[in-house]
Amino acid sequence: MQGSILPGTGKRPVPLRLDALLFDLDGTLVDTAELHVDATNAALATFGRQISRPDYEAHLHGGANDDTRHFLFPDDPEGKGRDYVDLKEQLFRDSVVQLDRMPGLTELLDWAAEHSLKTAVVTNAPRANADLMLRALGLADRFDAIVVAEEVPLGKPDPGPYLEGLSRIGCAAEAAIGFEDSPSGLTALIGARVFSVAITGPGDPAALIGADLLIDDFRSPALQSLRHAIL
């Protein structure tokens, strides 16, 4: 199976060698969709607004906060937009009590450690959110690098965050596999030329077109086949 293309719509071949796994955070390591939607609408309510779940999935899911504030407050992104972002993220952090790892994640991380693979988290979440969630998941010390959007010039969908992650762990793009759940994250992975695995969620699976492999979660037989094909 090496060098072939697995089910999906992307065009990248299966890596002939694997050195690293790259992970998005929200929606990939943990399902926080409802917490984010609730925090979004609670914050928007202070501005007399709301957003539907379909519109959230289409326009905000996985996006960088700079893009979000410009989308929601195009006439005042530096004022109301920044106030909204600060409030929304604080409301989200306040809502985090207990988080559960995505099914199959623990086994995948154990497999990565067994094969001496580097691992990195690459997220559009603020540093405070990322640190909080990884602690709540018991994963604070499990990754070799954690890249957040505020530490790079541009967040996803720009490939910069993934290129930074690869640089920090000393891995070539062609020797890595990346996991994402949002269109913006998938675009970033593809732009970084990393073999992309998309986790389907509540949004439209068609929005993840371009992924090299589609899975429901980390227990997917297709992912098991990919692992066996490489190592």
In this structure, how many other beta carbons lie within 10 angstroms of the beta carbon of residue 221? Answer: 9
24 catalytic per annotation: yes
Q: Which residues have C-beta within 8 Å of that of residue 89, sequence separation ≥ 6?
A: 39, 65, 126, 128, 129
Instruction: Give the residue from 1, 207, 27 showing the smallest Cα distance to 105.
Output: 27
State how far the Cα of 119 lies from the Cα of 104, in Å rounded to an integer. 16
CA–CA separation, 25 and 192 (whole Å): 17
- Catalytic (active site) residue 38: no
Number of Cβ within 10 Å of residue 198's Cβ equals: 29
19, 26, 67, 158: which is the annotated catalytic residue? 26
With residues binned 3-state (H G I as helix, E B as strand, rest as coil), the percentages for the chain, rounded to 5, are 45, 15, 40
Active-site entry in 24, 31, 67, 158: 24
Distance (Å, rounded) from C-alpha 161 to C-alpha 63? 13
Distance CA 82, CA 71 (A): 12
CA distance 195 to 2: 13
d(CA 40, CA 218): 27
Residues annotated as part of the active site:
24, 26
